[in-house]
A and B are shown apart, each in its own frame.
Chain A
Amino acid sequence: MSDPRVQKLAAVLVDYSVGAAEGQQITIEGPAAAAPLIREVYRRILAAGAHPLPRIGIEGTLENLMLEGSDAQLDWVNPARRDDIEEVDGRVVIMGLQNTRSLTSVDASKQARLHRALEPQRNRYLERAANGELSWVLTLFPTQAAAQDAGMSLTEFEDFVYAAGFLDRDDPVGEWKRFGERIDHVSEFLSGVSELRVLAKETDLRIGVGGRHWIASGGLENFPDGEVFTGPVETSVEGTIRFTYPAIFQGREVDDVRLRFEGGEVVDATASRGQDLLREMVAVDDGARRVGEFAFGLNENVTEFTREILFDEKIGGTVHLALGTAYPETGSANRSALHWDLICDLRDGGEVYADGELAYRDGAFLAL
């Protein structure tokens, strides 16, 4: 008998997030370590009359490739997975590493190279999603490794994960629908704004968002969820920002990141630790120097930093921006092999002005 919350999670992912329908083909992408959730998702897809297509990975092949692979091997993209992206109706993507730091010592340029090779595939599924041709959801199955990163026991971390997904409640789907209505008000408000100004400790950043589409993310593409995001005007970002939490890229941490923007581009990037990785990431390509996403974290059940961006970017009372590729449906044209989220906590004295007017203070919107 598996954890009943895992069954509930599978039901929400399949019925609500992906909305599986009869005859559809839906991939289940995840590591064998996530077996209990993969089984429940598989079962639920069958119950919906759809066809589950498992794509199960083995942790360690990536390490082999990074440590022993040639450039040609790092650049190779499995055509079968490219076909998947072109044709499936849905994707349930499950994270569940047994060691989140197994790639820490790998040469950063190799990671960047592999990341670049997969870029067309990533852009293509986002494009199909934006066109309404494919629905996807990204979630995490709690493992010891993720619990360790969060500084919790596995039991504590499971409680945290399932509470963040409202899975400890009777009707999670109903809760997510109500939550979705609440955050729709935030996106409606922001849709009328041309410029946001974020003020916090060592932070004064202006972000042009005029004409951009704000998207309320309420459990469809990420689970758990809870953010409202857009793609800023590519050349508009000006000023400085200091990020509260370590920024993590494939298991490597960069501490105390500070960025200075001019004309939308990063012109100065420093960190107290991991400066080399930061510089390497910003130099991945032209798009990596620009902000592809700006967002408000709005999930009040996610209260603490866990070193897992799926949760961290939704911490209620934070904002985050991502360097690199944008979600096309926001209206941003920025494209990059990178999409790297950096979080700024505004719960302690932070302010956000919307077209010059104070709209948000200490981690909450004033009028919403």
Chain B
Amino acid sequence: MSDPRLARLATLLVDYSLALREGEVLRINSTDAAAPLILELHSVAIARGAHAYANVALEGLAEILVAEGSKEQREFVSDLAFREVDRLDAELTIWCEANTKSFSRADPEARGQVYAAERSLVNRRWERIGRGEMRWVGTLMPTNAHAQDAEMSLREYEDFVFRACHVAGEEDPVAHWRTVADELAARAAEFADTREIRIVGPDTDLRLGVAGRTWQPSSGTYNMPDGEVFTSPVETDTEGEIRFTLPAVFYGREVEDIRLRFEGGRVVDADARSGADYLRTLLDTDEGSRVLGEFAFGLNYEIDRWTRNILFDEKIGGTVHLALGSGFDDCGSKNESALHWDIICDLREEGEIYADGELVWRAGNFLEAPKPVVERV
């Protein structure tokens, strides 16, 4: 008997996130450690009449490729792999690692070659999603490795994850996420005509131009758990300074207490208590890596702590996050970069946000509930 919360999560992912239909092809990507959730998902997908199969990355193979493969082997992507992606109607990724630091000591160049090869397949997926040809959702199955990163026991971490997904109790998870979708859509709509966001907090006073940009709700169709409203700021209109009290993590490396100063949209000054060199290296990735690609409100209040995993951290209720680097086409962004690095700013203790000069958010909460604008039919 597996954890009944896994079965509820599987149903939520198949019926709500992917809305899987009869005859569709679903690929479930994960590691062998995720077998219990893979089997639950497979079972629900079969019950819906879909054709589902698992694509399992065995722990250790990527490590062998990075350490022992030639450059040509590391960069190789079989045409078979592209054609496989092209045939999918839906894809589900379960992040589920037995050790989150397997690559910490790997040669960065060799690792980068393997990542680049993997990214070419992910890009293919996003092209197809953009054309409306397929759907994708990413989720996480708790392991001791993820729990350890979050400084919890596995049992505590499971409780945290399943609560964040709203599959822990008796409530109907699909109904919950439909309500969230309505609320976040209404919230996004409220910002449609906003020209400027101003963030004020300890060592922080940052103005972001958002005129003409589209705000998007993020409510469980691409990530589970979810809960954010985001946009991509105008590339030249970020001014001021911001201090990030939570560590920023990029590929397993942490940078603590980051301070950034922006002028004319670009980072002109950057410092950190630890990892400052790494921070500057990332800022120098390319032309677009000093420009913001994303600004977002984290609105999942079940996620109440930092766990070293961006799937959860960027949704912590009461935080905002900025991403340095590439922006989102569907928000109107023109910023391009190989970097997209989410950095979280905790505004739960003190912190205010003004929209066109009007106070809309204080100490981690909007002052008013969103006004419903979407009629559900």
Contacts and interface: CB of A to CB of B under 8 A. Distances in A.
Interface of A: 25, 32, 35, 38-39, 42-43, 46-47, 49, 51-54, 56-61, 64-65, 68-70, 72-73, 76, 78-80, 83-84, 87-88
Contact of A64 (B46, B60, B70, B76): B46
Given A35-B32, A46-B73, A69-B46, A57 B64 contact: no
Contact of A80 (B47, B56, B69, B87): B87
Contacts of B51: 73, 76, 78
Q: What is the interface of chain A mostly: helix, strand, loop, or mixed?
A: helix
A83 B39 contact: no
Contacts of B81: 53
B110 interface: no
B68 A43 contact: yes
B23 A61 contact: no
B80 A54 contact: no
B93 interface: no
Nearest to A36: B60
Given A32-B32, A49-B70, A64-B39, A39 B58 contact: yes
B202 interface: no
Given A51-B73, A64-B46, A79-B87, A57 B61 contact: no
B83 interface: yes
B54 A61 contact: yes
Interface in B116-161: none
Contacts of B54: 56-58, 61
Contacts of B70: 46, 49
Contacts of A53: 78, 80-81
A114 to B, nearest CB: 13
Interface string B319-345: 000000000000000000000000000
A51 B78 contact: yes
Interface centre among A46, A59, A88 (most CB of B within 10 A): A46
A79 B32 CA distance: 23
Contacts of B84: 80, 83
Interface string B65-77: 1001110010010
A181 B190 CA distance: 81
A64 B58 contact: no
B364 to A, nearest CB: 41
Contact of A83 (B52, B56, B65, B83): B83
Contacts of B60: 35, 39
B113 interface: no
Contacts of B42: 58, 60-61, 64
Interface of B: 23, 25, 32, 35, 38-39, 42-43, 46-47, 49, 51-54, 56-61, 64-65, 68-70, 73, 76, 78-81, 83-84, 87
Contact of A68 (B47, B59, B73): B47
A100 to B, nearest CB: 18
A78 B51 CA distance: 8
Contacts, number: 96
B51 to A, nearest CB: 5
A56 B56 contact: yes
Contacts of B78: 25, 51, 53
B80 A46 contact: no
A57 B39 CA distance: 11
Contacts of A42: 61, 64-65
B68 A47 contact: yes
A61 B52 CA distance: 9
Contact of A61 (B39, B49, B73, B80): B39
A56 B57 contact: yes
26 contacts: A25-B78, A35-B59, A39-B58, A39-B60, A39-B61, A43-B64, A46-B64, A46-B68, A46-B70, A49-B70, A51-B73, A51-B78, A53-B80, A54-B57, A56-B32, A56-B58, A57-B54, A58-B56, A61-B53, A61-B54, A64-B42, A65-B46, A72-B49, A78-B51, A83-B83, A88-B80
A56 B52 CA distance: 14
B43 A68 contact: yes
Contacts of A87: 79-80
A285 to B, nearest CB: 24
B35 A60 contact: yes
B80 A58 contact: no
Contacts of B83: 80, 83
A32 B76 CA distance: 23
B58 A35 contact: yes
Nearest to A40: B64
Given A79-B87, A83-B80, A32 B56 contact: yes
Nearest to B84: A80
A31 to B, nearest CB: 9
Contact of B76 (A35, A51, A60, A83): A51
Contacts of B69: 46
3 closest A-B pairs by CB:
A32-B32, A56-B56, A80-B84
B56 A70 contact: no
A79 B58 CA distance: 22
B18 to A, nearest CB: 17
Contacts of B79: 87
B136 to A, nearest CB: 17
B271 to A, nearest CB: 42
A50 B263 CA distance: 50
Contacts of B43: 64, 68
A65 to B, nearest CB: 6
B124 to A, nearest CB: 14
A88 B83 CA distance: 14
Interface centre among B39, B51, B60 (most CB of A within 10 A): B51
A38 B60 CA distance: 10
A269 to B, nearest CB: 34
A141 B278 CA distance: 44
Contacts of A65: 46
